[in-house]
Amino acid sequence: MLTLAELKKLVLEGTIDTVVVSIPDMQGRLMGKRFHAKHFIESACNETHCCNYLLATDLDMTPVEGFHSTSWNAGYGDYSMIPDLTTLRILSWFEKTASVFCDLVDHQDHKPVTFSPRFMLKRQLERLSEAGFISNFATELEFFIFKESYEQARSARYEMITPTSGYNQDYNIFQTAKEESFLRTIRNGLFDSGIKVESTKGEANAGQVEINIVYDDALKTADNHVFIKNGIKEMAFLNEKSVTFLAKWNADAAGSSCHIHQSLLSVDKTPSFFDEKAIHGMSKVMEHYLAGLIECSNDLMFFMAPNINSYKRFVTNTFAPTTSHWSIDNRTAGFRLVDPNSSSIRIENRIGGADLNPYLAMAAQIAAGLHGIENKSKLPELCDGNAYKAGDSNRLPTTLRQAIISLENSEILRHAMGDEVVDHYVRAAEWEQESYDSVVTGYEVSRGFEMS
């Protein structure tokens, strides 16, 4: 990590000549510009600009009709990008390059863009602070590695592509040794850029890997998460490989998740989730917070599973949950309690896929948890055993259509985030569904061309 003074020194020495200035978009991707470092330290370190359609597009960067924030009629004007210099860091896998994230403000009045992902999380962290708590989050991110480059994979229409192993490599040291040259590049590249990497490990399918990062507050964790995803893609490109963070890249393969671990601390850094005298060591704060997550699980679903593809992951007996039950150290439940009866007790939300936007997912969970704390929500009974067979009372939405309805009608999220924010993401979700509905898929043609 760098201070602005340190960056200026490196620029004057010729050690840094490029600064990547970016924002996370609605999909959690990095969008921005590459500056000559001298211009950045002279001017752009204070402010630069981008088109406001960046928060009104889909995965294909299609300008989407129906957003109140911007449109063709409004002329697609500018946002101002204000660098957050606390995020300034070396981008180690590119020569002489640094990186910084920005916050978005209105170009005219410089007020925060309320539905920008980074501001949404900051707002919920403010609410958390007002309630007397500090966030403590970590994400576990899964992805698949392929032998083909991105160009080769695209030419093959992403069909005849080869994972880097031929079998389930979960925890398999021998198999991941075959991928170690690339995985080592990832770990060291991220570490040298200020990311506290814990480990990489093989996951539960051919070519699937998980990367684990040290706990931090929610904003730093979200910043690290998007930096990691973008960095892994760039390092894959530089090594003539490709990776995907699709929730379900192939019907026969396991899904890729993003488990989110979370706990709260008091202002003096005391664990707020732990009570050594309570059952399982769960404090009342933790009970209410978890109850809020469970109560709001359907409302949160779009932020945990934002794409049509996301819902292909929720299959029984695949380690992807289908219910919002909670349990103790049980990977069949939507919410797993980890390290019970210790000061490290925490909640693992297992619902989200690797395609989620971490700012949105964490903001929504904090809003739900605060709702539980403020209303002293009652925690449902613990699910003991196979949560896949625990009945339909806590069944999660199985389609994006269901998630859209839950989000649109969520009084809890509207209270916590505001109507403008919820309506913005309802429109994003509606477009994802509308876009899919207009496409004729290969499945339909191959199944019905002759038989219908």
- What integer is the mean pLDDT of 98-120? 97
- 162-186 pLDDT, tens digit per residue, is 999 989 999 999 999 999 999 999 9
Q: Are residues 108 and 202 in the same domain?
A: no
243 and 224 belong to one structural domain: yes
Q: Is 428 a domain residue?
A: yes
Please report where in the chains the tokens 């998007």 appear, as a residue: 226
- Residues 280-304, mean pLDDT to the nearest whole number: 98
Q: What is the mean pLDDT of residues 127-138?
A: 98
Split at pLDDT 50, 70, 90, the class of 318 is confident
Token digits of residue 302: 């779009």
Round to whole Å and give the CA distance between 49 and 307: 28
Residue 415 main-chain phi, psi, to 5 deg: -65, -40
297 residue type, one letter:
S
What is the CATH number for 351? 3.30.590.10
Give the pLDDT mean for 33-52: 97
Cα 13 from chain centre: 36
Indicate the residue among 88, 113, 138 that finishes a domain: 113
* Residue 390 predicted with pLDDT over 90: no
Where are the alpha helices (H) located in 14-53, listed in sequence order? 37-39
Task: Mark whether 74 and 169 lie in a shared domain.
Answer: no
Whether the pLDDT of residue 389 is over 90: the answer is no
Contacts 24+ apart (CB under 8 A), 435-440: 435/58, 435/62, 436/308
What pairs with residue 358 in β-bridges? none
Tokens of 218: 């929610």
Helix/strand/coil for 305: coil
Higher pLDDT, 315 or 38: 38
In a domain, residue 74? The reply is: yes
295 and 371 in contact (C-beta within 8 Å)?
yes
Please compute the mean of the pLDDT values over residues 197-225 and round it to a whole number. Answer: 95
- Residue 105 and residue 112 in contact, taking contact as beta carbons nearer than 8 Å: yes
Domain boundary among 75, 90, 113: 113
Pick the last residue of a domain from 113, 138, 156: 113
- Average pLDDT of 75-87? 97
Section 254-277 average pLDDT: 97
In CATH, what number is assigned to the domain containing residue 65?
A: 3.10.20.70
DSSP string, 49-84: EEEGGGGSB-TT-PBPTT-SS--TTTT--EEEEEE-
Strands 97-106 and 18-24: parallel
Structural domains of the chain, count: 2
Q: Which pLDDT belongs to residue 336?
A: 96
Mean pLDDT, rounded, of the chain: 96
Tell me: do 174 and 254 sit in the same domain. Answer: yes
Q: Are residues 180 and 294 in the same domain?
A: yes
pLDDT score recorded for residue 408: 98
Pair (202, 58) in one structural domain? no
Question: Would the pLDDT of 19 be above 90?
Answer: yes
Cα dihedral value 64, 70, 75, 78, nearest 10:
-120
pLDDT of 393 reads: 74
Give yes or no for a contact between 303 and 416, defined as CB atoms under 8 angstroms apart: no
Contacting residues for 86 by C-beta, under 8 A, at least 6 apart: none
Inter-CA distances, 212 with 40, 77, 114, 314, 357, Å: 32, 39, 30, 22, 17
The reply to whether 94 and 242 lie within a common domain is no
Q: Is residue 228 domain-shared with residue 98, that is, in the same domain? A: no
253 and 387 assigned to the same domain: yes
For residues 240 and 38, what is the distance between their CA atoms, to the nearest angstrom?
Answer: 31
Beta strands in 25-157 (DSSP E): 30-36, 48-51, 78-83, 89-90, 97-106, 133-146
Q: Which two tokens stand for residue 12?
A: 């004057």
Q: Which residues form the domain of 27?
A: 4-113
* Domain identity same for 66 and 186: no
- The answer to whether 175 and 206 have CB atoms below 8 angstroms apart is no
User: How much is the pLDDT for 329?
Assistant: 87
pTM above 0.95, yes or no: yes
Which parts of 256-344 fold into alpha helices (H)? 284-295, 297-304
- 214 and 85: one domain? no
Is there a contact between 176 and 209 (Cβ–Cβ < 8 Å)?
Answer: yes
Are 105 and 159 in the same domain?
Answer: no
